[in-house]
Amino acid sequence: MNEFREFFSNNPLFVSSNFEQVGNHVYAKSGVLQQIKDQYPQLDVNVDVKYTLVDIAKTVWKEEKKRQAAASNHAEAANSTSGENKADTQDPDQKDKVNRVVAFLRDVIPEYKKSDYGFVASELLKLGYPESEVLFGIVQAGKDGIILNPKKVVDSYEKQLKREHLLPTAEGYVDQQNFGALGKAFFESYTTRVIDYQDIDYLFKELEESGHALTLEQQKDVRTHFVAELANELTSKYENTKLRGAVLANELYHEYGDIGLPFCYQILLANSNDDNRYALEFSYQKAYERYGKNEVINTLREIEASGYSEQEAAQTLINTKWPAKMVLETVKNVGPTTISLDVDSVINEYLEAIGYGNANHAEQSQNTAGAQENADVQENVGDENNQMGDEPDFEQNGYGDPNLNSGMGRSRRRKYHIVSREQAKSSIDKKAVVACMIAAAGCLSTTVLVSIFGVNPLVAAKNCFASLAAVKAANIGLSQLLPNMKDFVALAASVSTTIFGTISWLRLDRKKKQIEAQEALDLAEGGTKRV
């Protein structure tokens, strides 16, 4: 970062009088590009094309790095042939800096843990020395017997340096309030392995420190554009693949499993309108579950290693926002042989914390399955609030809610009498029938996603209605028939939650009745109450 800025601030060509602002971008004035090209004859630019300052700076910097690398290689070659200390081939100032890097590494190594190349690299970066000196220093330190893996430290250092170089570009986009371009720039750095998705958090912090703080909404905007780029790339990559759904889900899991899959998945679905949607959904869900289960087990192990209690373990798992059902099933299956934590206690603490616990352990264990399902309903709705950040205007009328709009949710089976039957004859009735059927189609496909695949209700509803709108709008004027699409999304989310909640409630009710029957049988037979 310092080197980058130092380089451009000392370069007489990169002064404000050589550039002009047009709209949101700054371009080189006429003739300036030729001067730059004269300075860098190998520069891959066309002097007749208008380049932005950012583009020119990036290209020049790339060329400068090539020069530095060539100089470095030359120095190394000279060193290897002469057998002399590499620093001896450098000018006194450079040699001094290299020595200081070596001394610095000697000081920092005691704090250096195995595989923590990033730590060493970030400490080196703080020195603010030119890159070549730092790289020489790392290599020299290795030769001097300082215990580190020079190659990995160098790789990490260069990666962090590149990440630092990204910041001026990022600051420019923040100044322009162009968060789409920022997301795209992050993605380009991601594809060239300069940054990982997690580095975006670090970059946001760096931007904040340089006076370019982004609000949470703006950060979300950047991430949306990042993931949209990724989704487009993946979608086009597998455009002509027969097993696109499964292949794509597999790649998402293996290659991008840790970068906000649900978000990416949502965009993929929005982009996809072919028959592979369900294959994708199913495969993704499976991959995500596997990923989630691994994460739960890893979290448990970390908690165990840290010596935390079962209660703290439960709270940590709750904080992850993973679906309760998946978490509890995974914890249950981990079993006492894998970890020393009492998994039953973790489950109990978890249920207690989310409001489904029961002081009576025996009764609780009987109800666990139903409570999990119920907790999952809660979790799905809660997740959605967290992920989307917008207000779902559907009612959370899950199981047991006396205000259920549907006739469902009761344990008793209601019987209706059909008073009359008619066929739609008037155009008003015909439109009403079609509207009912479209609404039902959206609600049912949403419910399938929610109850079978475990997708969040609002996410599922949005995707289902987006798909309906895309297919039907052109032919029947859907906007006239269903004037408020947002209400229909809320409707589908609400209905799917109701149906899913009802199914869970009915299962719980059935289990409760089975237990009551068993208890009655035990008592009648003179046995003890089951525990």
Partner 1 sequence: MIEQGDILTLDDQKKYVAVSILSLEGSQYVYLVNKENYKEFIIGELIGDSGVDEVDDPDLLETLIIKFNEDLKESLPKIIEQYM
Binding site for partner 1 (CB under 8 A): 405-408, 410-424, 429-441, 443-445, 447-448, 451-452, 472, 475-476, 491, 494-495, 498-499, 502-504, 506-507, 510
Query: DSSP assignment, residue 90?
Result: S
CB of 358 to partner 1, least distance (A): 22
Over the range 427-443, which residues count as b (16 or more CB within 10 Å of their CB) and which as e? eeeeeeebeeebbebbb
CB of 386 to partner 1, least distance (A): 25
CA-based radius of gyration for the chain: 31
User: 139 burial class (0-12, 13-18, 19+ CB within 10 angstroms)?
Assistant: buried
Task: Name the residue among 127, 157, 131 with its Cα closest to residue 7.
Answer: 131
**Distant-in-sequence, close-in-space partners of 153: CB < 8 Å, separation ≥ 6:** 117, 120, 121, 124, 138
CB of 28 to partner 1, least distance (A): 56
Cβ proximity to partner 1, 14 vs 505, nearer residue: 505
Cβ proximity to partner 1, 157 vs 505, nearer residue: 505
Residue 392 φ/ψ, nearest 5 degrees: -75, 120
Cβ proximity to partner 1, 305 vs 419, nearer residue: 419
CB of 468 to partner 1, least distance (A): 9
Q: Using CA atoms, how far apart are residues 387 and 220, in angstroms rounded to an integer?
A: 10
Question: How many CA atoms are closer than 13 Å to the CA of 156, on its beta-carbon side?
Answer: 18
Beta-ladder partners of 19: 28
Hey, is 52 helix, strand or coil? strand
Q: Using CA atoms, how far apart are residues 181 and 80, in angstroms rounded to an integer?
A: 45
CB of 57 to partner 1, least distance (A): 53
CB of 282 to partner 1, least distance (A): 13
Cβ proximity to partner 1, 362 vs 476, nearer residue: 476
CB of 478 to partner 1, least distance (A): 10
Task: Name the residue among 237, 111, 166 with its Cα closest to residue 1.
Answer: 166
CB of 431 to partner 1, least distance (A): 7
Q: Using CA atoms, how far apart are residues 453 and 285, in angstroms rounded to an integer?
A: 6
CB of 501 to partner 1, least distance (A): 11
Cβ proximity to partner 1, 212 vs 431, nearer residue: 431
Residue with tokens 């004035």: 29
CB-CB contact of 317 with 287 (8 Å)? no
Cβ proximity to partner 1, 248 vs 443, nearer residue: 443
Tokens (6 digits) for 56: 């020119």
CB of 399 to partner 1, least distance (A): 11
Cα of 44 vs its chain's centroid, Å: 35
Cβ proximity to partner 1, 70 vs 424, nearer residue: 424
Q: Using CA atoms, how far apart are residues 180 and 218, in angstroms rounded to an integer?
A: 10
Beta-ladder partners of 20: 27
Cβ proximity to partner 1, 150 vs 245, nearer residue: 245
CB-CB contact of 249 with 268 (8 Å)? no
CB of 503 to partner 1, least distance (A): 5
CB of 508 to partner 1, least distance (A): 9
Helix (H) or strand (E) holding 53: helix 53-82
Question: How many CA atoms are closer than 13 Å to the CA of 401, on its beta-carbon side?
Answer: 20
Cβ proximity to partner 1, 114 vs 415, nearer residue: 415
CB-CB contact of 490 with 392 (8 Å)? yes
Cβ proximity to partner 1, 213 vs 476, nearer residue: 476
CB-CB contact of 409 with 498 (8 Å)? yes
Residue type (1 letter), 191: T
Cβ proximity to partner 1, 349 vs 373, nearer residue: 373
Cβ proximity to partner 1, 109 vs 452, nearer residue: 452
Cβ proximity to partner 1, 403 vs 528, nearer residue: 403
Q: SS in 3 state form for 11-34?
A: CCCCCHHHEEEECCEEEECCCHHH
Q: Using CA atoms, how far apart are residues 190 and 228, in angstroms rounded to an integer?
A: 13
Please calculate the CA angle 108-109-110 and round it to the nearest 5 degrees.
95
CB of 430 to partner 1, least distance (A): 4
